[in-house]
C-alpha cells in the first residue's frame, strides 16, 4: 500500500514526503499576475461513429482527496513513488496588501492524450503511439527505456517504471474502457470532478458539459500546440501553464518540484 500523497508530485514525479494537512500550512503562495491564456482547446470532433476518448476535469468539484490517485495506483500497479495521475495543490493569492486573500486550488493531472503528442515522434523504436481512439499508449514489448519520451512531454506525465524499465503513463485505463468500464480515477472520484467519454459523440455527457461550459474550457499549456484531450473547467488561469515538464523560473511559485522521475 502506498502512502496517500499529501500533495503534488507530477504524474511522473517523485514521492511526497509530508502529510497534506501539515503541508498546507506551509504552502508558498503564487502571487504573480494571472497569465491569461485565452486559447481554447481544439474544436471537438464532429459526429463520428468511432470514439475519440477524452476527459473533462471540473476543478470546482475536486476536493483534493487523492482518491483518484490511489485508485489509479491500485488499478495499474503503479510503483511506489510514481504516479499516472495525481492532484497537485497550490496556494493562490488574489489581491494585494491588506486585501490579499490566499486560497487553495487543486489541479488534477494525468497524461493529456494529446492529439499532437511530442512524446511520439521522439521514440526511436516506435513504441509510443497514438491509437485511433485517441489514447496515447506505450508498447512495452518495443520500449527500450531510453526516456526520450519522458523528456519530450511538457506535462511531466511520463516516467520510467523502475520495475519494468519501460516508459509508463496513464492509458485512460484502456483495459477497462475496452471492457465497457470507466477509468479507475473516474469511477472513484467522490466529487464527480472527472468525466470521461467520447468526444466524437455529440450526445455524450462530456460533449454536453463541454458545450455548456464552452467559454470556460481550458487545457494545460495551450501554447505548446500539443492539443490536449484532457479539458478543464474552473481552472485558475495561474495554474494553466504551471505544470512540470518545463523547468522555468516561472515555476518557482509551485508548491512542489519533483526531484526525479519514476521514483
Ligand atoms: Fe505525450 Fe505528455 Fe501529451 Fe501524454 S501529456 S500525450 S505523455 S506529450
Ligand atoms: Fe520509446 Fe520507450 Fe524510449 Fe519512450 S522510453 S522513447 S517509449 S523506447
Which cell is 150 given? 519522458
Beta strand segments in 95-177, E: 101-110, 128-130, 136-138, 159-160, 167-168
Of 63-72, 171-180, 189-198, 250-259, minimum mean pLDDT range: 250-259
Residue 183 has pLDDT above 90, yes or no: yes
Distance 110 CA to ligand 2 centre (A): 18
Residue matched to cell numbers 503562495? 29
Question: By alpha-carbon position, which residue is closest to atom 8 of ligand 1?
Answer: 153
pLDDT digits (tens, 9 = 90+) for 101-119: 888 889 999 999 999 999 9
**Residue 195 CA from chain centroid, whole number:** 13
Question: By alpha-carbon position, which residue is closest to atom 3 of ligand 1?
Answer: 114
Distance 21 CA to ligand 2 centre (A): 37
Which of these CATH numbers, 3.40.920.10, 2.60.40.1180, 3.30.1390.10, 3.30.70.20, describes 20-34+42-253? 3.30.70.20
Question: By alpha-carbon position, which residue is closest to atom 8 of ligand 2?
Answer: 143
Question: By alpha-carbon position, which residue is closest to atom 2 of ligand 2?
Answer: 143
Greater pLDDT, 198 or 29: 198
d(CA 137, CA 117): 11
**Average pLDDT value over all residues in the chain:** 80
Q: Report the pocket of ligand 1 as residue ranges, CB < 6 Å.
A: 111-114, 117-119, 136, 153, 155, 157-158, 169, 226
Of 14-18, 112-116, 204-208, minimum mean pLDDT range: 14-18
Q: Report the pocket of ligand 2 as residue ranges, CB < 6 Å.
A: 122-123, 125, 127-128, 138, 143-149, 167
Query: How confident is residue 237, by pLDDT bands cut at 50, 70 and 90?
Result: confident
Contact between residue 191 and residue 183 where contact means Cβ atoms under 8 Å apart: no
Length of the chain: 263
The atom of ligand 2 lying closest to the CA of 167 is: 5
- Percent with pLDDT over 90 in the chain: 63
Distance 146 CA to ligand 2 centre (A): 5
Mean pLDDT of the 235-261 span: 51
Amino acid at each position: 500500500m502506498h502512502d496517500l500523497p499529501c500533495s503534488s508530485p507530477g504524474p511522473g514525479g517523485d514521492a511526497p514526503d509530508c502529510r497534506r494537512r501539515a503541508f498546507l500550512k506551509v504552502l508558498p503562495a503564487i502571487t504573480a499576475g494571472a497569465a491569461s491564456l485565452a486559447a481554447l482547446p481544439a474544436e471537438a470532433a464532429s459526429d463520428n461513429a468511432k470514439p475519440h476518448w477524452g476527459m473533462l476535469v471540473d476543478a470546482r468539484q475536486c476536493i483534493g482527496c487523492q482518491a483518484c490517485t490511489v485508485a489509479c495506483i491500485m488499478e495499474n500497479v503503479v510503483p511506489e513513488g510514481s504516479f499516472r495521475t495525481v492532484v497537485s495543490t497550490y496556494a493562490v493569492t488574489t489581491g494585494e496588501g491588506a486585501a490579499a486573500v490566499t486560497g487553495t486550488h487543486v489541479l488534477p493531472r494525468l497524461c493529456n492524450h494529446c492529439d499532437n503528442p511530442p512524446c511520439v515522434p521522439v521514440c526511436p523504436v516506435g513504441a509510443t503511439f497514438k491509437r485511433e481512439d485517441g489514447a496515447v499508449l506505450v508498447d512495452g514489448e518495443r520500449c527500450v527505456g531510453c526516456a526520450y519520451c519522458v523528456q519530450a512531454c511538457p506535462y511531466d506525465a511520463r516516467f520510467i517504471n523502475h520495475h519494468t524499465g519501460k516508459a509508463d503513463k496513464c492509458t485512460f485505463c484502456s483495459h477497462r474502457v475496452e471492457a465497457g468500464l470507466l477509468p479507475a480515477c473516474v469511477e472513484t472520484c467522490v466529487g464527480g470532478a472527472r468525466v470521461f467519454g467520447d468526444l466524437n459523440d455529440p450526445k455524450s455527457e462530456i460533449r454536453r458539459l463541454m458545450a455548456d461550459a464552452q467559454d470556460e474550457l481550458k487545457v494545460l499549456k495551450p501554447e505548446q500546440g500539443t492539443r490536449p484531450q484532457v479539458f478543464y473547467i474552473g481552472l485558475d488561469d495561474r495554474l494553466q501553464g504551471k505544470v512540470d515538464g518545463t523547468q522555468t523560473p516561472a515555476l518557482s511559485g509551485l508548491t512542489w518540484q519533483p526531484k526525479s522521475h519514476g521514483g
